[in-house]
Structure formats: structure tokens, C-alpha cells
Amino acid sequence: MCGIVAYIGNKNCKNILINGLKRLEYRGYDSAGIGILIKSCNKNAESESHEAGLERNRLEIKVVKQSGKINDLEKLLEGQEVEGTVGIGHTRWATHGQPNQLNSHPHYDCSKKIAVVHNGIIENYAEIKEELIKKGHKFISETDTEVLPHLLEEILKTDPCANLLIAMQILLKKIKGSGAIVALGTDYPDELIAGRIASPLIAGISKDGNFFASDMPAILEHTHDFVVINDYETVRLTRDKVEIYNPEGILIQRDVFKATWTLESAEKAGYEDFMLKEIFEQPYGIRETMRGRITNGIFNFDELELDDDKIKNLKKIQIIACGTSYHSALTGKLVIEKWAKIPVEVDIGSEYRYRSPLVDENSLFIAITQSGETIDTLAAVKEARKKGAKVMAITNVVGSTISRESDSVIYTHAGPEIGVCATKTFTAQIIVMYLIGLYLAKRKNLLSEDALNGFINELEIMPAKVQQVLNNAGKIKKIADNTYRHTCFLFLGRIYGFPMALEGALKLKEISYIHAEGYAAGEMKHGPIALTDTKTIVVGVIPEDFVYDKMLSNLQEVKARNAKIFALVTEGDANTSKYADYTFEMPKTFEELYGILEVVPLQLYAYYIAKNLGRNVDQPRNLAKSVTVE
């Protein structure tokens, strides 16, 4: 959960690194640093000895790092002469050691001839550190990363045939855990060396030099040509070459792919925050996710890559996800079971591989991850594949790890999401859940042609209905203005509304830091109703569906305990307002599809409450966008 950017070329790299880190600050923002290869400085050049002159012309790695935001690093750099054309940069989300200057990256070896930046966790770092200390190495930080430059130094010292690339290849075989690692060495001034284990890393190619980055936005202003690095591969990057070596150290070839995202698509485009921009981009994200899959009433979803025999013999579907993606998985369970009559299990990724899950050849395993790099979801995928499951991935990031670890991939095409909290990628995931359910039902002949066409036609106009909700965002803001001072929020929903209640509560917790819980409304009387009093806001998700009357009764139960009620209702519902203090109307749709309309006002509600409290909605505390640690 950190960001890496590195450059080697013919330009001064300080600003390239700093600007790249700014675009990666959503990945980590506890601290940041850069390391640039420069010539040693000696101000008394006229009187220096021959030996001193040689010393002056030697290279050193100038490291400047600081705790806090990238702006704090920029202030530290003011007035410092840090000029060079080869450098590495890092923005950190702390895992080992406090987020202070000492623990910030880059980290040196003993001689300060090697500097390293790293994303991920080295699980056996304590063991490696102990061995290196016995050999005379001294450590100054609390991080696991610091063992990496020392280990490279030790390999180079003990193996006269090794260079920095070979040392990185040996290092990857010694460490356990995850990591994207980029190393810079004074003895190797014309190259950057990188390695990767289960953490994202790409190389960017341009006429003015080449790059490493953990995410495309860091270097999109310089290039749209990228090469993806896979697990246990090492890379030598020079000013004009990208050399990739497989785990056996053999040079391999890989095609360059061209990114279609523009730098502007990763900017705020006039919105106050990325989160608000991305909430309002949801009609576009939904439309793009359906593009080519639903066109003028024609449904085409053959990318699911399931033949008739596989679908006929499909006995169970397992969906694995974490956080917000888990809530889209719950929606998938509901619609697949109703439409396709296939049992669906939904698991939290971090729990799945520890419960001895049952998988067989007649199971379909679906992994949902916005970034495609979520470590818990990736671990679950590997466990399922070991047991023979066919794995399908749903992700928003082309070239991500999950796409290469799976048998098939469905991309959501929501565009880059910069805000830490998932919004537009969530609604895109829900669309994919609907498409999978409808596709399986169609192939199994379980929906009539009229029913199938009805859903397809409704999905085609769903972007317009989401836009209708967004056009009334001001109403949500007024409700937020009246309720943001409350200290307890309970989100209630039933059936299709329950996952949205969970998601609404999660969004409020993430960005406002207010205690919020999502519940199946019928569960209130089994304990949570004890929390309701005049300080409680109950958010009820109550569309006109087959459990409307049940939901209305549940809201009356909390109203009797003096809680304030904010209800999401279907347009024209005059009944719920008799009990609710605030209501917001949603367009009518099929009951299975209400979730995608319900979550948008819940996102806005969380956003406006957080803004009233002065929170940083794009970078909420203790969270990062791509969760690449267990």
C-alpha cells in the first residue's frame, strides 16, 4: 500500500519523481522520499589534491525524505541541490515502524552505495536481519524494507560474479512475502534494477527515458506505453531499454501495451474532491461497463467463457471479495440464485483460505477486486486454483495481478479511481453481477424472453436513472447538513437493500470516522435496537419491493425509540414519510435492480457529512487505495 516511481533518462528527475509521487499519494501518504544519483560535491575544487579530485567525481545517492504529505517533502527540498537524471521515489503507508522520517523510503545499505524503495511486506525480514547483523550490518530503521539494500550489498560482496541484476534475482529467492522493489546503485549508474513479488509494478517507455511505477497515473503525463512486470521477474531499465528476466534469469520478450487513460481523466475536472468527481462519473462508468455487452437491447456476454457443459454441471459458485467489493458480491449472490438457480457462497477474502473450503471441478470461483492487487483476494484465488476451481476475476485494472492469476477476466471499465473509497468501481461491479446472473439464467433457459428483455432494457436506461439521482444531490446535502452532528448511525435494509445498507455504513465510517453499522432490518430487535435513542440516525433503504411492508414495520420500531429516520424511497411513496423525518426519492425500477440506485444517495450522504466535519474524503486516515498487505 505504497507508491513507487523511478526514472532514468536525459532529464533532471527531481520534478518527475515529485509529480509522480503526488499522483500516487492515494496509495500512501504517511511519508515520502526520493533518491537521486548525483556527483559528489567538493566546494574547494581549486586547492584539492588529485585524490580529492577523484573523490569529487565519484557518484553518490542523495536521499531526501520526510514524514507527512508530499508537500512536506517539497518544502524540505527547497534550496537543496539535487540534480540528476537517475532516481527513485516512494510514498509510504506504514506497515513496519512509525510513519517518521527515519522509516521513510528510500533505504540505504551500509556503504550508502545502494538505495531501495519497496512496496509490500517482507515476512521473513527478522530472520534475514539477524543473519546480516551477525555479518556486521547495522540497521537504523524499524522497517522490514531496510534489509533489502543490505541483502543486495551482502550478495554483491560475497559473489564476485554478481552484478546488481543478479543480486536482485538472488534476493527474490531469499525473501518471503510481497514486494515491488526498485534499486539504484552508485556502481551501476546507467541502470535501475527492479523485482516483483505479488505487488504491482509496471515499466513505462518514452523517448526521453524510461520509468518504473506502481500505478499508471504516476507517469501518464510522460508516456502511454507500458510493460507489465510479473511475479518473480527482474528488470533492468536503462535510458533506452527495458530488459525483463524470468525467474530463471533468462531474458524474455514482452509486448508493450498502450494505455487509453489520459492524465486529465485522473484529475479532479473542477470538482472539489476526487471522491465527488467519481460519484458523479457513475453514469459514465455504468455505461462503459455495459458497452459491447448490452447494445440496443442485444445481450452479449460470451466473455464469461463458460461452455454449455460447464454451465449445466455448475453446482456451486463461490464469490470472494473484501470491503466494498464484498458488498457487490452479496448482491451477486442474490441475483444469481434468483435468476439462475445456482447456489452461491460469498466469502471474505482474508478468511477464505483458512477455513478449508470445499472446491471441485463443478464449482465456479469468482474473485472481485477493484485494484486487482488485493493480497487477501489473490491468496484466495491461489488456494482455489490449487483445488481445481475455474477462476474468474472481476477488476477495474487492466494488467493487474488478478487478471494474470485467473482463467478469465471481466473488466469493469469504470476508469481510474483516485479517491481511496470505492464509488464508481462499486456500481460497475454491481452491473457485472447483474450481467452474470442474467447470462447464466439465459443459458439455462430460466428466464422468459420477455423477462430477460425487460431487465436488459431497464439496464440500458440505468445510467439515466442514476443521473436523475445525482441531479438531486442538493437534497441529500440538506439532509446531511441537518444530521451530521449525530454520533450513531444505523443503516437498515432487507434482501436487495441489505448489501447497500452495509455499503452505506462502510462509506460513512471510512470518510467521516463516525460509528455506523449496517444491519438486515429484521435483526434490529435481536440486539442493535438497544442503541437507538435521540442521538441515533436510522437510515432506512425502503424501495417498493416485496418486503416493503416488513421494512416499514422495522422503521416504526426504531421510531418508537426516538431515533431520527432518513428513508430512501421509491418516487411517489407517500406512506413512508409518515414515519421518516427525511426522505429521498429514487426512480422506479425492478426490485432486483434497486441496489444500484440506492447506493448513490448513500455515497453522497457520507460525502456531505464528512465534508461538514472537515474530513479529507480522498485520503481518509489509516486507509489506502490498493490493499497489498494481509
User: What torsion do the CA atoms of 32, 34, 35, 41 make, to the nearest 10 degrees?
Assistant: -120
Provide the whole-model pTM.
Answer: 0.74
Summarised one tens digit per residue, pLDDT across range 13-27 is: 999 999 999 888 766
Q: Catalytic annotation on 322?
A: no
Identity of the amino acid at 440 = L
SS3 breakdown of the chain: % helix, strand, coil, rounded to 5? 40, 25, 35
Other C-beta atoms closer than 10 Å to the C-beta of 208 total 13
Which of 65, 424, 564, 625 is catalytic? The answer is 625
DSSP helix/strand/coil, 539: strand
Map grid coordinates 434490529 to a residue.
524
Segment 488-497 shows an average pLDDT of 94
How many helices (H) and strands (E) are present in the chain, helices listed first? 20, 27
Q: Is the peptide bond before 106 cis (omega within 30 degrees of 0)?
A: yes
Residue 3, pLDDT score: 87
Helices assigned H by DSSP within 281-322: 282-290, 308-312
The DSSP code sequence of 415-427 is: ----SSS-SHHHH
- Over 70: is that where the pLDDT of 300 sits? yes
Segment 162-178 shows an average pLDDT of 93
Residue 81, pLDDT score: 79
The helix or strand, by DSSP H or E, that contains position 379, with its residue range, turns out to be helix 375-386
- Over 90: is that where the pLDDT of 457 sits? yes
Other C-beta atoms closer than 10 Å to the C-beta of 88 total 29
Average pLDDT taken over every residue of the chain: 89
Output DSSP code: residue 189. Answer: T
Distances in Å between the Cα of 537 and the Cα atoms of 489, 491, 523, 615 are: 5, 8, 17, 20
Q: How far apart are CA 379 and CA 355, in angstroms?
A: 13
Please state the three-class secondary structure of 133-149 as a single string. HHCCCCCCCCCCCCHHH
Give residue 464's pLDDT band: very low, low, confident or very high (50, 70, 90): very high
Residue 591, pLDDT score: 95
Other C-beta atoms closer than 10 Å to the C-beta of 457 total 13
Q: Catalytic annotation on 559?
A: no
Summarised one tens digit per residue, pLDDT across range 35-56 is: 999 987 654 444 455 454 545 4
In 234-375, at which residue ranges do the beta strands (DSSP E only) sit? 234-237, 242-245, 251-252, 257-258, 294-295, 298-299, 316-321, 344-348, 363-369
Residue 123, pLDDT score: 81
Summarised one tens digit per residue, pLDDT across range 567-577 is: 999 999 989 98
% of the chain residues with pLDDT over 70: 94
- Report which of residues 81 and 449 the model is more confident about: 449
Contact between 285 and 414 under an 8 Å Cβ cutoff? The reply is: yes
Residue 47, pLDDT score: 47
- Over 80: is that where the pLDDT of 606 sits? yes
- Over 80: is that where the pLDDT of 531 sits? no
Distances in Å between the Cα of 452 and the Cα atoms of 325, 463, 544 are: 26, 19, 21
Which of 2, 13, 322, 421 is catalytic? The answer is 2
Summarised one tens digit per residue, pLDDT across range 537-560 is: 999 999 999 998 998 888 888 877
- Over 90: is that where the pLDDT of 160 sits? no
Give residue 269's pLDDT band: very low, low, confident or very high (50, 70, 90): low
**Structural domains of the chain ordered from first start:** 3-260 (3.60.20.10), 274-460 (3.40.50.10490), 468-630 (3.40.50.10490)
Segment 241-252 shows an average pLDDT of 95
Least confident window among 322-326, 488-492, 556-560 = 556-560
Identity of the amino acid at 609 = I
Map grid coordinates 455504468 to a residue.
286
Residue 627, pLDDT score: 63
- Over 90: is that where the pLDDT of 594 sits? yes
Identity of the amino acid at 105 = H
Residue 16, pLDDT score: 95
In 168-219, at which residue ranges do the beta strands (DSSP E only) sit? 179-185, 192-197, 202-206, 209-213
Residue 422, pLDDT score: 93
The helix or strand, by DSSP H or E, that contains position 536, with its residue range, turns out to be strand 536-542
- Over 50: is that where the pLDDT of 129 sits? yes
- Over 70: is that where the pLDDT of 625 sits? no
Contact between 234 and 251 under an 8 Å Cβ cutoff? The reply is: no
Residue 112, pLDDT score: 93
Segment 105-131 shows an average pLDDT of 92
User: What angle in degrees, to the nearest 10, is found between the helix axes of 282-290 and 424-443?
Assistant: 30
Q: How far apart are CA 490 and CA 597, in angstroms?
A: 19
**Measuring CA to CA, which residue among 185, 160, 211 is closest to residue 109?**
185
Give residue 156's pLDDT band: very low, low, confident or very high (50, 70, 90): very high
Residue 628, pLDDT score: 57
Residue 1, pLDDT score: 58
DSSP helix/strand/coil, 102: coil
Contact between 490 and 532 under an 8 Å Cβ cutoff? The reply is: yes
Residue 626, pLDDT score: 60
Least confident window among 298-302, 357-361, 543-547 = 357-361
The DSSP code sequence of 39-81 is: E---S-GGG--HHHHHHHTSEEEEEEEEES-HHHHHHHHTT--
**Measuring CA to CA, which residue among 81, 78, 94, 74 is closest to residue 33?**
74
Q: What would the grid cell of residue 599 be?
A: 447506493
536 burial type by CB count under 10 A (0-12 exposed, 13-18 middle, 19+ buried): buried
Length of the chain: 630
**Measuring CA to CA, which residue among 362, 395, 356 is closest to residue 378?**
395
Residue 54, pLDDT score: 47
